[in-house]
Chain A
Amino acid sequence: MKFKTFAVFVGPSVLMMLLFIAFPLVSVFIQSFKITQPVYETVQMETCTPGFLTQTCVTEEKSVPVLDEAGEIVTQTEWVGLQSYINVLEPERAWAALSAGDWRAFQSIDFWKALRFTLTFTFITLPLVLGTGLAIALVINNAARRVKGPVIFISLLPFIITPVIGALSINWLFRGDGILTATMERMLDRDIALFAQAWTIEILMMVYRVWHVAPFAAIVFYAGLQTVSSDSLESALIDGASRWQRLKYIVIPHLMPLIVFVGMIHLMDTYRVFEEIVGFSSQGHVISLQWLTYDFLQPDQSGNRSISRASASAMLTMVGIVLLLIPPLKRTWRDHRGSH
């Protein structure tokens, strides 16, 4: 293809990527090093609010932002270097807790608490998703031609459901005396409260995530299964290889690039775990890195947002994803070079 034609085809997409991904990213990166805040002055002020029958008036000192002539809030922007990152990471407290061997104190710092959960969540669900996905793919592959369509459809269903809705429905099934909790209570004849402690919520979240994502892995693996050479499978059969040996020595090595691909996508997705936290409203027990960023951005009653800390936390999340992706990317690179 001529370079010009190539450029014309790729141009719009590159432009969009620059506009909607690269520039915002740079902007967030810059934001994380500065703080913009209104200038406040303290004024003596009387405020009257309704009581039940008569008003309550209080005079007190209030911090009020200064307005300029145009009626806009006067703001000042300050370069603070790594201050926002320090505010998020709280390295001093973290180090003190760690060197005292106090895991609990360490886990009471938001960022590290979120990181602990995010990593556990990512690494426990990864093999489960790959395994379940492969199992579903094998089932589909071995299903009779007549039922193949319906089986594919049913196994894809969880993936089609909007994540937040899916999480909410699991929440309602198990929350309080939800249908499933009530059934379990009847079977075990004891009171069960799944949302009363962190570990049960974490298990529910992981089960939900595997249930939700496994179909994606399955459909990719199923496509891969169609390309396994039947010659090698047949010769293995003649050599007396068992079903398990065929899977282990022929099918899985053949699918390896796809497994790495699905694994990478899964790492990227789960490291940004968010819907589960919101859907299960688990903030009291478990938080994730992405949720932390969201929480910094949420305005409170008086409209304050922590933009700088949110930016810092977003950058840290990105760094985390990049670190996680280095090993699989290295592997792909090696394979790629090897094949040429």
Chain B
Amino acid sequence: MKLKTIALAGTMSLMSSVAFAECAYENTVPLKSLSAGFEAWKVVTDAMAECGNFEASLDQEFREKQPEAFAADPALYQIGGVANGTMVPLQNAGTIRPLDDLVAKYGQNLTPNQLIKVDGKVMAVAMMVNAQHLMYREDILTDLGLDVPGTYADVLAAAAKIKEAGVVDYPIGGTFKTGWNLGQEFINLFLGEGGEFFGEGNLPSINNEKGLAALEVMKALTEYMDPEYLVSDSTYVQQQFQQGKIAMSNLWASRAAAMNDEAESQVVGKVKMAGAPMGSAFPATTIWWDGIVLAANQTDEQAEAAFQVALEGMDEEVVKANNDTSIWLIPGYVPGELAAGAAASAGAGAKPYPSSVPFGILHTALGNGLADYLTGAKDAATTLADIEAAYVTAAKEAGVVE
């Protein structure tokens, strides 16, 4: 039995590597890429490597290395993998190159949706999107006769029922880890309320009734969470789901596949995806994209080769062989059950993550400042006022506020 499984696995991996090995041409220009290290990037860069003369660095610390590596002349990497936020420093430093000419020449198979445009120029080619959306235990909701929650009021009502029934340890899981994660939760909810983060001259405008509403929802959610929520990140929430400890969470789409991973999960097939719960105006989530950029400091010949290799990594075959790895933007992708949540959020008008220099500072200030409200050290208005003050101090130091 065991031998058979191994043999089967062997053939499978052989088959998939055969599926990869089809690069349309032989690349002769030495190329390097630097990107994040999650599964989708591994798939794509593996496919690029099939063309030869290509070396990929998959690095969790890419965000710190990229600006310096791209500022070098010639750049240390020809291809970069970025997301909404991480493109900003490269874009601002002018170290990435417009791609319009290359798209015109080689990009016949790209959809217009994939082209990231800044000021009319194509600066990046996106390959996938990621968003937080509602994941829920279908069996529990059905047993208790509950509908799939559509708003946060519904989520809280359902959580109360689940708590009463006592079927899981905690009804709700949340990525409330102090820092980036916690800041992101506020951003979701504030956008869901239809808030605008900045007023004139990059001054913050979160200390208002929309900000207070967002904070109230956060506090209400924590009542139904593991009391150690301030240390729980995406991986921790994913594990709570897999171990059957929680029933609902607004979690990243990139974590969806793990729910059905039989090696790790005790709830295979029981977790379903729905759109992010609505705030009073929009779904309380942000849409993120990941894609490639090309360094400005390289020769045209290199750029041309790099672009071709990159497209080879992001083509239809790769997507077909790895359909469920991610929510691809590439033609050939068949949205499965796991993509339902992200699709529903997007359909309901979810906003892209509003990346910019001041927003990066605000995100940090939020991430550091919100815990005081949740632990009860400060009231809501003071918390928001202090976060605004912290933002202004940092923004003045960075030069974006006079």
Taking beta carbons and an 8 Å cutoff, which residues of A are in contact with B?
35, 37-40, 43, 45-57, 62-65, 67, 71, 73, 76, 84, 87, 104, 107-108, 110, 175-176, 193-198, 280-285, 295, 299-304, 306, 308-309
Contacts and interface: CB of A to CB of B under 8 A. Distances in A.
B359 A302 contact: yes
A258 to B, nearest CB: 39
B92 A73 contact: yes
Q: Which among B296, B371, B398 has the highest number of chain A CB atoms within 10 Å?
A: B398
Contact of B397 (A283, A284, A285, A309): A309
Nearest to B88: A302
A198 B393 CA distance: 27
A283 B368 contact: yes
B318 to A, nearest CB: 18
A304 B386 CA distance: 20
A304 B363 contact: no
Given A52-B347, A193-B228, A284-B371, A300 B363 contact: yes
A284 B113 contact: no
B394 interface: yes
Contacts of A104: 377-378
A270 B319 CA distance: 52
B336 interface: no
A109 to B, nearest CB: 9
In this complex, the member of A176, A195, A309 whose beta carbon has the largest number of chain B beta carbons within 10 angstroms is: A176
B117 A46 contact: yes
Given A55-B113, A285-B230, A302 B360 contact: yes
A135 B374 CA distance: 42
Interface stretch (B144-152, B209-217, B306-314, B349-357): B349-357
16 contacts: A45-B118, A51-B346, A51-B352, A53-B346, A63-B400, A84-B397, A104-B377, A196-B230, A198-B375, A283-B178, A285-B371, A301-B63, A301-B355, A303-B67, A304-B398, A308-B397
Interface of B is mostly: helix
B177 A281 contact: yes
A45 B119 contact: yes
Contacts of A47: 117-119
Nearest to B228: A195
Contacts of A304: 357, 360-361, 364, 394, 398
B343 to A, nearest CB: 5
B283 to A, nearest CB: 12
B287 interface: yes
A50 B361 CA distance: 24
A170 B362 CA distance: 33
Given A46-B117, A299-B63, 6 more contacts: A52-B287, A53-B346, A63-B356, A281-B178, A284-B177, A301-B359
A37 B399 contact: yes
Contact of A63 (B85, B202, B329): B202
A46 B399 CA distance: 23
A306 B371 contact: no
Contacts of B397: 35, 37, 84, 87, 306, 308-309
B360 A300 contact: yes
Contacts of B92: 38, 64-65, 73, 302-303
B126 interface: yes
B289 interface: yes
Contacts of B64: 299
Which of B230, B231, B382 is packed against the most chain A CB atoms within 10 Å?
Answer: B231
Contacts of A195: 228, 230-231
Contacts of A301: 63, 85-86, 88, 355, 359-360, 363
A130 B371 CA distance: 35
A40 B346 contact: no
Nearest to B287: A51
B166 interface: no
Contacts of B358: 63
B349 to A, nearest CB: 9
Interface in B225-244: 226-228, 230-231, 236
A284 to B, nearest CB: 3
Given A40-B400, A107-B377, A108-B377, A50 B355 contact: no
A71 B126 CA distance: 25
Nearest to B344: A52
Contacts of B356: 62-63, 302
B298 interface: no
